[in-house]
Amino acid sequence: MESKIDVMNTKEPEKNFGAHTRRTFLKSLGTVAATAATAQVNAVADELQKANNEQVMGPGAVPVTLKVNGQTLKLMLEPRVTLLDALRNYSSLTGAKEGCDRATCGACTVMLGDTPIYSCQKLAIEAQDQEITTDEGLADNDKLSKVQQAFLDKDALMCGYCTPGFLMSVTALLKRNPRPSAEDVKRACAGNICRCGPQPRFIQAALKAAGVETASKTEVIDYV
Ligand code: FES
Ligand code: FES
């Protein structure tokens, strides 16, 4: 008669997958999971350490240095002050306009380096160490920039309030693409709103500034 011990010993032997048994495979899975978890914990600890090392600024005014139109601007600003606010209300640079103050209209456009940005959406403190260009920095003394002159020549402004934003967007476009098409101009100015209708003239002005033959009237008028 088969003893109880014999029955227990009839258990199917551990399957052998190549050099590994099921047990060693499961054990190794546990090791990998533990290693991954430890790596995550270490990463979080590193981030916390970095955050703890960061200097807390504000809420009071702190010194902020901006490089605007080739000049150094030293201001005392609360860290919450936007670049637009710093330019318009803490210095005399009122070229960038405040329209919506919520990243919709583009009237506040300035360039950070060669990139057009909404200055109402950038903290002044974050714009330190970067070259900022506003409309005041486009002309060379009394000589208007090509873009400014072309806007005048093509009568591409009505209220004028949104125009500084268009000038900056077009200037930035011509820096990265000196020979744009009408379509390129439309795309570059997609973040600038004008409600009174001279959009075809903006395009003609941009193309004139680039020395590009004016596109067909239909192509330009298709803007709206
Ligand atoms: S004021 Fe900045 S996008 Fe309108
Ligand atoms: S020119 Fe300013 S809204 Fe049209």
Q: What is the mean pLDDT of residues 75-85?
A: 98
Q: Tell me which range, 54-63, 101-110, 195-204, 212-221, is most confidently predicted by mean pLDDT.
A: 101-110
Cα 68 to chain centroid distance, Å, stands at 18
Q: Is 137 in the pocket of ligand 1 (CB under 6 A)?
A: no
Q: Is 221 in the pocket of ligand 2 (CB under 6 A)?
A: no
DSSP bridge partners of 20:
17
Over the stretch 210-224, which tens digit does the pLDDT of each residue have? 998 775 665 665 554
Looking at ligand 1, which atom is closest to the CA of residue 118? 2
Interval between CA 215 and ligand 1 midpoint (Å) = 30
Cα 50 to chain centroid distance, Å, stands at 24
**Distance of alpha carbon 166 from alpha carbon 157, whole angstroms:** 10
Interval between CA 199 and ligand 2 midpoint (Å) = 9
Looking at ligand 1, which atom is closest to the CA of residue 103? 3
pTM of the model: 0.75
> How does residue 1 score in pLDDT terms, banded at 50, 70 and 90?
very low
Q: Which of 212, 121, 106, 92 is nearest to 163 (CA)?
A: 106
Protein residue with least CA distance to atom 3, ligand 1: 103
Interval between CA 200 and ligand 2 midpoint (Å) = 12
